[in-house]
Structure 1
Amino acid sequence: MLAQRMERGTGSGHMDIKFTNRLSYKQARLTVLVGFILGTLLSLIQIGIDYASEDASINREMQALLEISHNTASRIAYNIDSELAKELTGGLLRSPAITRARLIDNNDTVLADVQRPRQESGYRVISDFLFGDSRQFKDRLALSHMPDEYLGTLFIEVDTFAFGSRFLNRAEVTLLNGFVRSLVLTGILLALFYMMLTKPLVRVISALSTSNTRSPSQNKLTFPPGHEHDEIGVLVKVANQQFVSMATEIQQRRNAENRLTDYLNELENIVSARTNELKASNTRLSQSNEELEEARSRALDMAQARAAFLANMSHEIRTPLNGLLGMIALSLDSPLNAEQRQQLSIAHDSGKVLVELLNDILDLSKFDAGQLELERIPFDLGALVEDTANLLSQNAASSVELTCLIDPQFPALVLGDPTRVRQIVSNLLSNALKFTRFGRVDVRLKHTGSVHLEVRDTGIGIPQEAQVRIFQPFTQAGAGITRQYGGTGLGLALTNNLCEAMEGRLSISSEAGFGSQFIAELPLPCHTPAIAPQQLQGKVVAISNASSGLAELLQTLLPGWGLDYIRHDSVETLADAKPDLLITDNLHGLFGLRPAIQAPILLVTAYGNFLPGEQAANLAPLQQQARPLARNALYQALRRTLLGSDALSPSAQADNLTNERRAHILLVEDNPVNQLVAKGMLAKLGCEVSVAAHGGEALELLETSSFDMVLMDCNMPVMDGYEASRRIRQSGRWPNLPIVALTANAMPEERERCRAAGMSDYLAKPFRREELLALIEHWVPLTPT
């Protein structure tokens, strides 16, 4: 009824406010809600205190009952009177809380045991949860003048529901009282808030709704009685002020509208003129778009032409280059005098540089076309770094110390693309050796979840302003660099692209005149952890500068191999040292060691700087090895010297098996020079070779002879290698015969074309004997004789 009266008091029409949206209702609701929550919490606290009291009273009342019955039960147990015992337990059972009473004597004889069913009720579950369904009490019986003599025990079992029902009744009354108080408080607060807040506000709203917005200056609200100085009075005062402001603003807007009308007329004239200008601009833009489309079409045609040119260039250059390098390699295996061997070696190295340059150009074109493919196979990165450094050490100045410092815990195998990683190592190391004339070039390798490859040199360095463009193709640090040191500027650009393709990163730290440091972070996971070599025993003494790469290498490796290692700066400081092996890279004073020190000597020198026979004989027993000193070569030298073992190393055993290999190879090649090169290489590998000039001859030879593998050139007259391979596979007679493509086309689509024709593998010309050996080892099983 109160709500209905308040609804009628708000007036009628569109300004009516829903009851639940009124401030009085919201204020009362919030106040009652807080009061209800606080009242409920207080009621719960009171109930909790009552619960604790009731729980304690159960134990207290039962203990009191046991104390009252103690003397009587003790005399009954002493006299062993069953009749009195039944009367006593029956009397205890009259208590509404006790459901069982039992009296036994000191011999555990039951004198009386009475019980009755417990009371059932719907509230029993709650009572049992709070107090437990029952409790047991016992009293040890003894006479007052004989307190230490045990006479028996009085047991009683209490049904807690008698107490729990009493507690639940009180809790129910407490909660109902709190709820009723909240309802009464709600009604009182609702009426008060309506009279003090909602009713005057509704009067102000009604006055505002009936005011004339067209003439705000004529509207003035009156103050509700008794609210001249509170918030409602302030609201009326502010509303009256707003009416005055609105009147002023309306007049200002009318003036602005008049001015705006004038501006619109001017704007129409301006828009008309600009529209004509835009039409002319659109015409010129259309012409520009047509010109851009033509330029794009020409760029695409040029890109296709460049790709075709690179493919043709690759084929045309690689074919004669394969014959050139192959013939030189075969000539180097024949008896030559020193001058001839040097000349042929220079020619062979120059040819390899030409091949590397051609590969760099083709790789850059693959990056541009997005066609670079990466392998993911296990390989020995440590050995790869040492092999690459050993090959490039021939280009190092004799005054430069090249050292490979590989972490002893570096994995034996990692997963990745060995060919691309070799390119990264080769380009970084070639760059360091090219610009270093004195000092050190170090290659450091470690694995911290990913491969950390660092190449550091003491060369000319790179100025800070040149480092920002050093990774751009065909760019070097300065114009004078190309004239003085040579090079195309492709190496670092390709290396940076390869690192990014592997999701790695290449960084540089350098200062002009103080050397450079290149760090390649490559995410190559570990495939096989490091394998610890067999431990050695002995004393090894090194004569080397503390800052030398040899000293750092020996300090890193030898203690881990079980050797006692000591370093001296010079021969003069050896004193009474009695080493099992002496390692040095310093010839100063070395010839004065004999005969005082008879230990074998391992001399580490630059490539091509070995001691001649007479000088070497004066230092016998002497071993000489070129820098950089590989881990396996050092270990084998130590093993032979300290253990007296002449057993072949694993790599030497592999070479022996290679020499014993016997395989019958069908070479399908139309170029006579390339035939001679391939036959010479295969003969060196112990293979028997049959030659076919085109695919038709190859099919005829397959009909009459058995072959272990086919080396198939792709571009030949009569029948090319693609067609010949397809016919071999379609015949079904040689399903497992390995067919390896020999092609001068090194573009990526060529590999897919060969696989589509049924070929098993791919070898780009010019190829090295090591690459040919790897293919034969992969596809043809070893057959030692």
Structure 2
Amino acid sequence: MSNSVKKYFCSDLDDILNYDHYDQAKYFRETFDFTFDGKSYKAGLFDAKLLSMKSIGEIVVIRDITEEIKSLETTITLLIIISLFISSLGFLLFWLIMGAIQINLNTANNNLILKIEELEVSKKEAIESKSIAETANRMKNDFLANVSHELRTPLNGILGMTGLILDTDLDEDQKEFLNMIIESGDHLFRIISDLLDFSQIETGNLTIQPGLFNLSNLVKNTISVLEPAAKRKNIKLLCSIQPEVLNYYGDRVRVGQILINLITNAIKYSEKGTIRVNIELSEELEISIIDTGVGIPEDKINTIFESFVQIENTYTKTHEGVGLGLSIVKQLVELLNGKINLDSKLGVGTTFKIFLPVIPAPEGAKVIAEKVSSKKSETVTELRIIIAEDEAINRMYIKKFLTKQGFLVEEAVNGRDVLAKLKENEFDLILMDMGMPEVDGIEATQRIREQEKQSGKYIKIIALTANAFPEDVRRCIESGMDHFVSKPIKEKDLLDIIEETMQS
């Protein structure tokens, strides 16, 4: 073998292969030529042992791969180092990415927490705002109720006393002046009513009370009430009612209110010509109000039904009103599950069409009678009546009017006074104001009803109220009152209600 390998000894494939220098162990990884039984073999020293050679010839080194092994070892070492470096770099990148993700997650989490906190604040603010709005709404309703009472009560005295003066001997000029006072008072009353109706609609307190009524009579009565205002402007009010239109099941008061507001609006914006009211019945009830007035500009048509909107500029307008009439009409129509259409041409006129559903009346429903006469019947002649009213002017007006009708009338200033008079004499009817000092009308009525349980007698009680809200009417009825009259009191309305109450 070559000089690079010293002597090696093999002893007939002993289990131990001996060599003379420990540092030559690397040659066990080299390939050598072996001769065995006349044949040559290439193998490592260990492989030669495994070949079970009996004798080994001269060992010759074919090639020395020591440097290659060193190079391979170096390469492997480099590969290991590179792998470790790449692994470390990957590990570093992994943690950098995970760190960035964690930062983003923390940021997102913080943002989410901030959003939740903002939502909680917004929710709290919304709850507080709702509470404030509800409180403000209650205060508004209370304010309107108080304003209504404070305006209606003196207005009742003004209109009532003016009406009494009109029944005296006056010249034509005096009558004209007094009629103008009454007309102005009626206008103020309509404004108050519009404001109250608008408030009730806005708060959802306006209720629909359907019943069977004679629609034809309602239309005719409405026109007769508004005809004087039309005549003053030389406007003709015409009415066309389809013969099939007779009784209709719905809210008579609200349908009448729609008619009054639309016809009043037509009179307001017409200087001459005609106003036609057409009533037709098919699958729906169709009410048309056609005028020859100023018309509505195109840019105003889409806003005409909004609250407090008028055609004219505030400082140049020639027509009175606060701009609630048409808004109330639209909302009343919607409450009745109907619809309203508008067609108008500037300088030609306007047509409003109302479509209301036809609803079958419940079995046994009775027709609500229209009041057509203010004359009292014989059944209410010489009634003994107590007027319980703390306002002296109102007491005087009502007493004079009823006395003139033949009734026997006594006055009371509060509920305590009423209870005292009932102990002294018998009466047929009490006209009871709701708001009085010491003992109000509600408490007085409750006491009277309790006393009647012992006496077995029953006296009719009609509320006189300047508060026109439904809850006020409900309180009257629940306390034991039989009917109610809203101020300002119209003589015809009062007589009709007295007759209706005494006959019921």
Name the SS for the 2:207 alignment partner.
coil
Match of 2:43 in 1: none
Instruction: Give the CA deviation at 1:481.
Output: 9.1
**Letter matched to residue 678 of structure 1:** I
SS state at 2:381 partner: coil
Q: Secondary structure at the match of 1:780?
A: helix
CA distance in 2, matches of 1:409, 1:280: 68
Q: CA shift at 1:707, angstroms?
A: 2.0
Describe the SS at the equivalent of 1:520.
Answer: strand
1:35-54 aligned within 5 A: none
1:755 partnered with 2:477 = yes
Match of residue 202, structure 2, among 360, 368, 375: 368
After TM superposition, give the deviation of residue 673 of structure 1 in Å.
Answer: 0.6
In structure 2, the CA distance between the partners of 1:701 and 1:480, relative to structure 1 (3 Å rule), is closer
Is it true that 1:456 corresponds to 2:290 in the alignment? yes
| Deviation of the 1:312 alpha carbon | 1.1
Task: Specify which of 299, 319, 324 is matched with residue 153 of structure 2.
Answer: 319
Match of 2:375 in 1: 655
Q: Deviations over 1:600-636 (max 9, x none)?
A: xxxxxxxxxxxxxxxxxxxxxxxxxxxxxxxxxxxxx
Contact kept? 2:295, 2:350, Cα under 8 Å: yes
Q: CA 1:708–1:388 in 2, change beyond 3 Å: closer, same or farther?
A: same
Matched, 1:730 2:428: no
Which residue is 1:775 aligned to? 497
Show the counterpart of 2:385: 665
What's the CA shift for 1:426?
A: 0.8
Structure 1's 685 and 421: CA in aligned 2 closer, same or farther, altered over 3 A?
Answer: farther
Question: 1:440–1:457: 8 Å Cα contact kept in structure 2?
Answer: yes
1:319 Cα shift?
1.2
Shift of 1:483: 1.6
Partner of 1:713 in structure 2?
Answer: 433
Contact 1:449 1:525 in 2 (8 A): no
1:597 equivalent in structure 2 = none
Which residue pairs with 2:349 in the alignment? 515
Q: Superposition pairs for residues 233-244 of structure 1, below 5 Å?
A: none
Write the deviation string for residues 253-280 of structure 1: whole angstroms up to 9, x where unpaired. Answer: xxxxxxxx89877655433333333334
CA distance in 1, matches of 2:316, 2:305: 15
Contact 2:381 2:407 in 1 (8 A): yes
Q: 1:335–1:425: structure 2 CA closer, same or farther, 3 Å change rule?
A: same
| Structure 2 residue identity aligned to 1:718 | E
Whether 1:279 and 2:1 are equivalent positions in the alignment is no
Equivalent residue number for residue 475 of structure 1: 309
In the alignment, residue 155 of structure 2 is paired with which amino acid?
L
Q: For the Cα contact (< 8 Å) 2:383–2:407, is it kept in 1?
A: yes
Distance 1:680 1:336 in 2: 18
Secondary structure of the structure 2 residue equivalent to 1:740:
strand
Matched-pair contact (CA < 8 Å) for 2:153–2:487: yes
Alignment of 1:33-72 (within 5 A): none
Among residues 677, 695, 699, which one is paired with 2:415 in the alignment? 695
Rate the CA distance shift 1:282–1:688 in 2: closer, same or farther, 3 A: same
Conservation of the 8 A alpha-carbon contact between 2:380 and 2:499: no
Q: Is the 8 A contact 2:461 2:483 kept in 1?
A: yes
Amino acid at match of 1:347: I
Out of 318, 324, 340, the residue aligned to residue 506 of structure 1 is 340
The equivalent residue for 2:87 is none
- Code of the residue aligned with 1:419 in structure 2: it is V
Give the match for residue 531 of structure 1.
Answer: none
1:428 aligns with 2:262: yes
Amino acid at match of 1:293: I
**Alignment partner, residue 467 of structure 2:** 745
Mapped partners of 2:184, 2:501: distance in 1: 31
Aligned to 2:406: 686
**In 2, distance between residues paired with 1:455 and 1:750?**
33
Shift of 1:431: 0.7
Cα distance in 1, alignment partners of residues 456 and 440 from structure 2: 19
Residue number in structure 1 paired with 2:239: 404
Residue 33 of structure 2 aligns with which residue? none
Structure 2: which amino acid aligns with 1:408? Answer: P
CA distance in structure 2 between the partners assigned to 1:781 and 1:771 by the alignment = 15
Counterpart of 1:297 in structure 2 is 131
- Counterpart check, 1:270 vs 2:67: no
CA distance in 2, matches of 1:452, 1:481: 37
Q: How does 1:606-621 map to 2 (within 5 A)?
A: none
Matched residues in 1 for 2:335 and 2:254: separation? 10
1:500 counterpart SS class: helix
Match of 1:331 among 161, 165, 170: 165
Aligned counterpart, 1:118: none
1:491 pairs, out of 321, 325, 330, with 325
Q: Higher relative contact order at CA 8 Å, sep ≥6: structure 1 or structure 2?
A: 2
* C-alpha spacing 1:526/1:767, structure 2 compared with 1 (3 Å): farther
Secondary structure in structure 2 of the residue aligned to 1:401: strand
Contiguous gaps of at least 5 residues in structure 1: 1-260, 529-649
Note closer, same or farther for the CA distance 1:505–1:684 as it changes in structure 2 (3 Å cut): farther
Return the offset for 1:771: 1.3
State the AA in 2 paired with 1:402. L
Which amino acid in the other structure matches residue 237 of structure 2? L
Deviations 1:452-498 (A, max 9, x none): 21101111212333222211111123536972223211001111111
Deviation at 1:285, TM superposition (A): 4.1
Distance 1:377 1:695, change over 3 A: same
Deviation at 1:769, TM superposition (A): 0.9
* CA spacing shift, 1:674–1:392, aligned 2, 3 Å: same
Paired with 1:673 and 1:417, the residues of 2 have a C-alpha distance of 34
Assess if the C-alpha contact under 8 Å between 2:377 and 2:499 holds in 1: no
What SS is found at the alignment partner of 1:279? helix
**Paired AA for residue 670 in structure 1:** D
Q: What letter matches 2:311 in structure 1?
A: A
Amino acid in the other structure paired with 2:273: G
Helix, strand or coil for the counterpart of 2:288?
strand
Q: Which residue of 2 aligns with 1:562?
A: none
Q: What one-letter code is carried by the residue in structure 1 that aligns with 2:236? A: E
Other-structure match for 2:73: none
2:137 counterpart SS class: helix
Q: Secondary structure at the match of 1:746?
A: coil
CA distance in 2, matches of 1:660, 1:722: 25
Letter aligned with residue 379 of structure 1: F
Number of residue pairs matched by the alignment: 401
| Structure 1 Cα separation of the partners of residues 378 and 326 of structure 2 | 36
- AA aligned to 1:420 is R
Offset at residue 371 of structure 1 (A): 1.5
Which of the residues 153, 175, 178 maps onto 1:344?
A: 178
> In 2, distance between residues paired with 1:685 and 1:375?
32
SS in 2 for 1:762: strand
Structure 1: distance between partners of 2:144 and 2:493: 23
Query: What is the Cα deviation at residue 658 of structure 1?
Result: 7.0
Where structure 2 has 5 or more consecutive residues not aligned to the other structure, the ranges are 1-93, 363-370
Alpha carbons of structure 1 residues 323 and 656: separation in structure 2 relative to 1, 3 Å: closer
Change (3 A) 1:360 1:730: same
Contact 1:659–1:685 (8 Å) recurs in 2: no
2:415–2:439: 8 Å Cα contact kept in structure 1? yes
Distance in 2, matches of 1:358 and 1:419, equals: 17
Quick one: distance in 2 between partners of 1:450 and 1:343?
45
2:353 aligned counterpart, secondary structure: strand
Q: What amino acid is the match of 2:281?
A: H
Alpha carbons of structure 1 residues 361 and 734: separation in structure 2 relative to 1, 3 Å: farther
